[in-house]
């Protein structure tokens, strides 16, 4: 399931699809392109310098230098930061940097800065993840350096895994699993399933992609919701989501698959394979998914890849839609984006996924797998939804939405009736 900022179901990507993610990044020079207010007691350059020293200390695993940038009087904050630094110790970071966005003078040698944290995991992230942060600074005496007194997620920005506990790292052949509070054997099992998913996706998606995936496994669904900055109710029963920025720019930022350990753990081997293959498909297709891509296409394609190597009938894969068709309740149109929302009607959500899967199955049957991929790319190459699907259906499939919908409805009767 992709989170657009995207959501999630048995495994879907939230078009943040956090899913979450972000820009380029090297360790920025102090104040680089950052705003400053020379009328205040602190400049953006001074904030940037303090944050750069902090970032360098973190990358060097230098606890003393890291704590030296923190307010000596902020006892609780210093203790929490020491713990976070310990929690991050095993994470293979390639870079960690800050960019100052804005600085506000609070008076009395106090200031607040809005900054963006950008970090990359070595060997996995071609572009950095980002997190908007609010940093408070204080100066203890005239001429003394500015200290960091607080650092928290900005409004509307999710928390980070290492803030939830000590991060355990499990390396697979094609995967990196980062877990907190979960048994090592469970994390290894997830890595093994993700390792199987990656080549399955590569075999179905010919476009170049990283062919590796980072999976986050928090301790609980409550912690999962914290990593997505969303209500817990949105993810109960959802096995996994994928976070990342859509855009079709060809330079996709880092993605993360986030697992709900309770829901994922209730699945058998088949269900777990489907979930992680579905989510990995979102990672692979991210660069060719844009605001123009309807959810039925992105989720339907991910399900097609996930079920392709499994021996299941259409009625077994699409039980809710099969039951509706047998009752004579044939859908009048393809699933809308709203049909994929997480509300009270779980049946509606299931039918949306099943309908999207069968739409992609239909394209593969009547036009071929290459045309299905070409159609996906053509839609995602547009930046806006208006006319994108219609144009791609015309140029790639030689049909119209009206004709395709009629074919799809007949296809549902044939396979599910």
For residue 247, what pLDDT is reported? 53
For residue 237, what pLDDT is reported? 84
Under the banding of pLDDT at 50, 70 and 90, the label for residue 3 is low
Which residues are paired to 213 by β-bridges?
A: 175
Under the banding of pLDDT at 50, 70 and 90, the label for residue 255 is confident
For residue 245, what pLDDT is reported? 61
Q: CA–CA distance from 61 to each of 65, 90, 360 (Å)? A: 9, 10, 48
Q: Mean of the pLDDT values across residues 152-175?
A: 95
Q: Mean of the pLDDT values across residues 173-191?
A: 98
Distance from the Cα of residue 116 to its chain's centroid = 17
Average pLDDT score over the chain: 88
Alpha-carbon distance 63 to 65, whole Å? 6
Asked whether the predicted pLDDT for residue 206 surpasses 50, the reply is: yes
Distance from the Cα of residue 3 to its chain's centroid = 6
- DSSP 3-state percent helix, strand, coil across the chain (nearest 5): 45, 20, 40
294-308 pLDDT per residue, tens: 999 999 999 999 999
For residue 140, what pLDDT is reported? 85
Q: Provide the CATH topology of domain 22-157.
A: Nuclear Transport Factor 2; Chain: A, (3.10.450)
For residue 252, what pLDDT is reported? 47
What is the tally of helices (H) and strands (E) in the chain? 14, 11
Asked whether the predicted pLDDT for residue 386 surpasses 60, the reply is: yes
For residue 151, what pLDDT is reported? 96
310-339 pLDDT per residue, tens: 989 999 999 999 999 999 999 999 999 999
For residue 222, what pLDDT is reported? 95
Q: Mean of the pLDDT values across residues 92-119?
A: 95
Alpha-carbon distance 355 to 34, whole Å? 47
Element (H, E) at 298: helix 295-308
Asked whether the predicted pLDDT for residue 26 surpasses 50, the reply is: no
Q: In what order do the strands lie in the sheet with 240-243?
A: 2-3, 12-14, 240-243, 256-259, 213-217, 175-179, 168-171
Q: Which of 35-39, 177-181, 389-393 bottoms out in mean pLDDT, i.e. has the lowest?
A: 35-39
For residue 236, what pLDDT is reported? 83
Asked whether the predicted pLDDT for residue 142 surpasses 80, the reply is: no
DSSP 7: -
Architecture, CATH, for domain 168-289: 2-Layer Sandwich (3.30)
For residue 343, what pLDDT is reported? 67
Asked whether the predicted pLDDT for residue 173 surpasses 80, the reply is: yes
Q: CA–CA distance from 314 to each of 97, 172, 180, 335, 373 (Å)? A: 48, 32, 37, 17, 21
* Domain coordinates in residue numbering, the chain: 22-157, 168-289, 303-416
Under the banding of pLDDT at 50, 70 and 90, the label for residue 33 is very low
Q: What percent of the chain has pLDDT over 90?
A: 77
For residue 345, what pLDDT is reported? 77
Alpha-carbon distance 40 to 374, whole Å? 55
């Amino acid at each position: 399931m992709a989170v657009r900022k995207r959501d999630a179901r048995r495994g879907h990507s939230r078009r943040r699809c956090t899913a979450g993610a972000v820009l380029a990044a090297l360790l920025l020079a102090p104040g680089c392109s950052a705003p400053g207010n020379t009328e205040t007691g602190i400049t953006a350059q001074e904030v940037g310098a303090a944050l750069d020293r902090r970032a360098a200390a973190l990358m060097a695993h230098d606890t003393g230098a890291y704590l030296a940038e923190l307010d000596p009087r902020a006892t609780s904050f210093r203790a929490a930061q020491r713990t976070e630094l310990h929690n991050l110790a095993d994470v293979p970071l390639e870079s960690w940097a800050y960019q100052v966005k804005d600085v506000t003078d609070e008076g009395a040698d106090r200031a607040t800065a809005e900054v963006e944290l950008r970090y990359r995991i070595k060997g996995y992230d071609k572009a950095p993840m980002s997190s908007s942060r609010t940093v408070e600074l204080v100066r203890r005496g005239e001429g003394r350096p500015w200290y960091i007194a607080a650092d928290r997620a900005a409004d509307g920005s999710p928390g980070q895994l290492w803030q939830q506990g000590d991060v355990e790292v499990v390396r697979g052949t094609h995967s990196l699993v980062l877990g907190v509070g979960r048994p090592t054997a469970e994390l290894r099992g997830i890595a093994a399933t993700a390792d199987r998913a990656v080549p399955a996706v590569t075999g179905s998606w010919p476009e170049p992609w990283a062919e590796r995936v980072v999976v986050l496994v928090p301790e609980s669904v409550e912690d999962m919701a914290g990593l997505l900055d969303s209500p817990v109710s949105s993810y109960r029963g959802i096995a996994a989501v994928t976070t990342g920025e859509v855009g079709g720019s060809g330079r996709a930022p880092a993605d993360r698959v986030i697992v709900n350990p309770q829901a994922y753990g209730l699945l058998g081997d088949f269900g777990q394979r489907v979930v992680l293959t579905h989510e990995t498909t979102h990672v692979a297709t991210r660069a060719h998914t844009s605001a123009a891509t309807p959810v039925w296409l992105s989720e339907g394609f991910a399900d097609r890849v996930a079920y392709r190597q499994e021996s299941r009938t259409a009625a077994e894969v699409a039980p809710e839609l099969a039951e509706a068709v047998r009752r004579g309740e044939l859908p009048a149109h393809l699933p809308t984006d709203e049909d994929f929302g997480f509300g009270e009607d779980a049946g509606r959500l299931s039918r949306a996924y099943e309908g999207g899967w069968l739409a992609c199955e239909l394209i593969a049957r009547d036009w071929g797998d290459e045309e299905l991929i070409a159609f996906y790319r053509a839609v995602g190459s547009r930046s806006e939804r208006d006319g994108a699907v219609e144009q791609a259906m015309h140029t790639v499939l030689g049909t119209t939405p009206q004709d395709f919908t009629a074919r799809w409805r007949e296809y549902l009767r044939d396979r599910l009736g």
